[in-house]
Structure 1
Amino acid sequence: MANRFTQAALALVTAAAAVTAPVASAQPQPTAPPDFVSLSDVDPSILMDIRYDTPHNFTGDPVDGYHAPMCILTRPAAEALSRAQREFLEQGYTLKVYDCYRPQRAVNDFVTWANNLFDQRMKAEFYPRVDKTQLFADGYIAEQSGHSRGSTVDLTLVALPAAPEPTYVPGQPLVDCAAPAPDRFADNTIDMGTGYDCFDTLAHTLDPRIQGEQLKNRLLLKDGLEKQGLQNYENEWWHYTFKPETYPETYFDFPVDASSLVH
């Protein structure tokens, strides 16, 4: 009998200890390899408009993995942008980046959003002529992105002196990203024919419908970046990858945050 009471008491003590024992701490966030840098540390003159850190993007919410409005890139890519920036400044322009390194968790967030067909809050601006069911088939959303390898950047040009950057207010009326420049969201950039992240064939860099000043502006950006080893993705006028990539087959998932660069 005593043994049974002793065993029962020990069981109660063990159970209580299990309940009150401290929970093991979560695994630390992964950090970037040492050859990743903040673009602002390499060239602070380049403007930033990190859209996925804000609700002004095609999902309508800040994107998972963006903890700060900063641009992280491999050092060779950042230095190539700095070289291009010096030449653009001499011509009266500055680069402005929308997105740089993109963690895999952000790409996963895009996939989850694309599969939620009920969420069409931002359709009127970013994909007014594309059915959301076709985003994967049409190549606008994918399960992996070259951005996650660290040498790809989305960017544009701003004429100097740079006009003030308008503030996006969630819930404000949305305008088609392919509308004439005076009508669509005014983000202080030169006219590239569409806004950033416009899910439309008009965003193809050399779409034949883009002519005149808009084509001139796209080629100005393209020529200046390609001189420094940044190659354009033909379906997005804003998308460039520095070649050769430092990590051509590695998809990283550390957050966009200064702490990711602390070694």
Structure 2
Amino acid sequence: MSSGRRPYRAARRAVGRRLVAVLAAAAATAGCQRPAPSPPAPTPSPTVAGPRAPADFVALSDVDASINIDIRYATAHNFVGRPIAGYPEPLCLLTRPAAEALHRVQAAALAGGRSLKVYDCYRPQRAVDDFVAWAKRPGEQQMKAEFYPDVAKTKLFAEGYIGAPTAHSRGSTLDLTLVPVPPPAQPGYVPGQPLVACTTPAGRRFPDNSVDMGTGFDCFDPLAHTADPQVTGAARANRELLRRLMTAQGFENYPREWWHYRFTAEPYPKTYFDFPVARSSLR
């Protein structure tokens, strides 16, 4: 009877050893596998405040009247081709800390024979919503030949040329350039006039009174990237001068747009405002 148990016990031990080996292999394989990545968290909706500006918003002209103002989104001369929602007046509104920092930039620019010119400052959330709605209408491309001649309209958001939400709505970000002192006259834009690509050389594109920056303002093209290697000579020097002047007073450039700067010590880093660009919005 004992001799019959030995083969049985041996077989049982062999089965046990094989089971242990299988379980060990499974455990090792599981340890090498990475857990499935979690889906990205949804982008939170911006906190929109309004309908009037906080007390520390000011009109730039009240802080420094020498800075030139050319608010394109209050006109038809922009990439949409009409005045943008939220711009009833061609004003530059900023938080006071950003405006006072820009006043210091202007003092340094004037000392070197240049002056600042702003194209856009605080941008209400309703204007951003207007851009988003426009982007969803593929047939509206009447300004393509000037502002995005080589980029499909469907890629303007994906490639970072338009942002939603935008730091502009927080009140301490602006778009600007340099102009000579005194600034030369600038012909007005006439809706329907022939358009010229913003990437063409200075003197052939729209006659903005800016110094040569290599492209026009709001030029949705890699050539408008601040450090694009194709931009050389005077245009490169002008971009670098603007960056030095702005950086010295606490502004940071957006690398895809030579004209875009954010005041890094902005007082409302997480709040997006929606009051209109108008004197009546100020307290």
- Bin the TM-score by the shorter chain: 0.7 to 0.9
Which residue of the partner structure matches residue 3 of structure 1?
none
Larger Rg: 2
Matches within 5 A, 1:213-232: 213-232=234-253
**Counterpart Cα distance in 2 of 1:167 and 1:53:** 13
**Counterpart Cα distance in 1 of 2:141 and 2:130:** 15
Task: State TM-score, norm by structure 1.
Answer: 0.88
In the alignment, does 2:266 pair up with 1:245? yes
Cα deviation 1:124-152 (Å, max 9, x = unaligned) = 00000011111221122232110000000
Equivalent position SS for 2:109: helix
**Counterpart Cα distance in 1 of 2:163 and 2:242:** 26
Which residue of the partner structure matches residue 70 of structure 1?
91
Which residue of the partner structure matches residue 176 of structure 1?
197
Which residue of the partner structure matches residue 148 of structure 2?
127
Once the 2 structures are TM-superposed, how far is the Cα of residue 160 of structure 1 from its aligned partner?
1.0
**Counterpart Cα distance in 1 of 2:163 and 2:184:** 34
Task: State TM-score, norm by structure 2.
Answer: 0.82
**Counterpart Cα distance in 1 of 2:101 and 2:266:** 12
Which residue of the partner structure matches residue 207 of structure 1?
228
**Counterpart Cα distance in 2 of 1:180 and 1:209:** 12
Q: Which amino acid aligns with 2:275?
A: F
Q: Which amino acid aligns with 2:136?
A: N
Which residue of the partner structure matches residue 164 of structure 1?
185
Matches within 5 A, 1:48-127: 48-127=69-148
Unaligned runs of 5+ in 2: 1-49
**Counterpart Cα distance in 2 of 1:51 and 1:241:** 19
- How many residue pairs were aligned? 234
Equivalent position SS for 2:178: strand
Q: Which amino acid aligns with 2:207?
A: A
Cα deviation 1:184-237 (Å, max 9, x = unaligned) = 001111000000000001101001111111100000100011100011111100
- Contact 1:103-1:252 at 8 Å conserved across structures: yes
Which residue of the partner structure matches residue 56 of structure 2?
35
Q: Which amino acid aligns with 2:242?
A: L
CA RMSD of aligned residues (A): 0.8
The structure 2 residue matched to 1:155, chosen from 176, 180, 184, is 176
The structure 2 residue matched to 1:196, chosen from 214, 217, 225, is 217
- Contact 2:183-2:209 at 8 Å conserved across structures: yes
**Counterpart Cα distance in 1 of 2:234 and 2:82:** 33
**Counterpart Cα distance in 2 of 1:161 and 1:83:** 19
Cα deviation 1:131-182 (Å, max 9, x = unaligned) = 1111221122232110000000100000112101210000000000010001
- Contact 2:160-2:256 at 8 Å conserved across structures: no
**Counterpart Cα distance in 2 of 1:240 and 1:145:** 12
Percent of matched pairs sharing the same residue: 62
- Contact 1:111-1:142 at 8 Å conserved across structures: no
- Contact 1:53-1:67 at 8 Å conserved across structures: yes
Once the 2 structures are TM-superposed, how far is the Cα of residue 251 of structure 1 from its aligned partner?
0.5
Q: Which amino acid aligns with 2:191?
A: P
Equivalent position SS for 2:273: coil
- Contact 2:197-2:205 at 8 Å conserved across structures: yes
Unaligned runs of 5+ in 1: 1-28
**Counterpart Cα distance in 2 of 1:185 and 1:155:** 16
Equivalent position SS for 1:37: strand
**Counterpart Cα distance in 2 of 1:142 and 1:96:** 22
